[in-house]
Amino acid sequence: MKNVLTAILLILSMQTAWAIDLQDAKSQGLVGEANTGYLAAVQQPVSAEVKALIADVNAKRKAEFERTAEKTNISTRQVSNRFYELAVEKTKSGHYYQDTSGNWKKK
């Protein structure tokens, strides 16, 4: 039983090591900055690994948007809109972002 547990833990740790990170996903054109202030998939279908990355990043962004909105006494939507504007400014050449109409653009 101990060997099985060790094998499972080893497999899980290797999966984490293989997980794609945000910069790699952006560089590969898999994800981009959506006009909502959140991260989104650029193309379909989306792998489970990329879906997990998007969910993780967006959960962190949502929490930060909510904290900032509370501190500054403005709406979460206003915070996410401003974040989107800044994210587009900081988007690297070759990475994707959505324009205000929802079309993907490569910078």
If you search the block for the tokens 């079309």, which residue do you land on? 103
The three-class DSSP label of residue 75 is coil
Which whole number is the average pLDDT over 85-94? 96
Percent of the chain at pLDDT > 90 equals 80
Distance CA 2, CA 86 (A): 50
* Segment 25-38, tens digit of pLDDT: 999 999 999 999 99
Q: What is the pTM of this model?
A: 0.79
pLDDT of amino acid 5: 45
Strand partners, 14: none
Domain ranges of the chain: 21-106
Tens digits of residue pLDDT in 53-64: 999 999 999 999
**Enclosing H/E stretch for 90:** helix 76-90
